[in-house]
Amino acid sequence: MITFNTVVSLSEQNLIDCSGSFGNFGCGGGLMDRAFQYIQANNGIDTASSYPYEARNNACRFDQQNVGATTIGFVDIQSMNETALQIAIATVGPVSVAIDASKSTFQFYRSGVYNELTCSSTSLNHGVLAVGYNKTTSTPYYIVKNSWGTSWGQKGYIWMSLNKNNQCGIATLASYPLV
């Protein structure tokens, strides 16, 4: 979250522990829109420093005094439209996207442009953050932040193929909060 030129890291664990009543399943998964609904109804989400990631389901410990951001709603980007996704990234900023991360090539990704022809554009199982894209190289790509820590991929990021028929579902289920 960027506020007044300051980057505020928000708590994934807050969502894991507290957004179940909105249809999410803690470490078992969920949808970004449901997380946005929780944040809106809850009047905020705690900072990551006040509510750190623990990689397990726990009781909700949300504390209004530690709110790092609020939202007034969210926008769903037109499904399977990579042009709309790129416009949103360029004009709004980072966009949450759901992808197919089931392939071992994704799980053990280290570097380069990820181009997995056998991943699904509709069976989505992992939420990530599309933070940018690069069309100036011979192989255009999205710059995507994963949640698996900095030892995975390129310091926690992956370059995913851009304009390859919505590869891995990058543009199937994309949304961003209104702040």
pLDDT band at 2 (very low <50, low <70, confident <90, very high): very low
Query: Please, are residues 13 and 62 in contact by the beta-carbon 8 Å criterion?
Result: no
For 65-89, what is each residue's pLDDT tens digit? 999 999 999 999 999 999 999 999 9
Retrieve residue 111's tokens: 């570097």
Q: What structural domains does the chain harbor? A: 2-71 (3.90.70.10), 77-178 (3.90.70.10)
Distance CA 16, CA 147 (A): 13
DSSP for 78-142, please give it.
Answer: PTT-HHHHHHHHHHT--EEEEE---SHHHHT--SSEE--TTS-SS---EEEEEEEEE-SSSS-EE
Q: What totals of helices (H) and strands (E) does the chain contain, helices first? A: 4, 11
In whole angstroms, what separates CA 33 from the centre of its chain? 11
pLDDT at 179: 85
27 pLDDT exceeds 80? yes
Higher pLDDT, 171 or 148: 171
For the segment 20-28, the average pLDDT, to the nearest whole number, is 95
pLDDT for residue 6 is more than 90: no
Average pLDDT on 124-142 reads 97
C-alpha 32: how far from chain center? 7
Tell me the pLDDT of the chain averaged across its residues: 95
Per-residue pLDDT band for 4 (boundaries 50, 70, 90) equals: low
Q: What is the pTM of this model?
A: 0.90
Q: Cα separation of 75 and 174, whole Å?
A: 9
**Better-scored residue on pLDDT, 44 or 4:** 44
Separation CA 162–CA 78 (nearest Å):
16
At residue 8, the pLDDT reads 87
Q: What is the pLDDT at residue 109?
A: 99
**Mean per-residue pLDDT for 152-174?**
98
Q: How far apart are CA 12 and CA 104, in angstroms?
A: 24
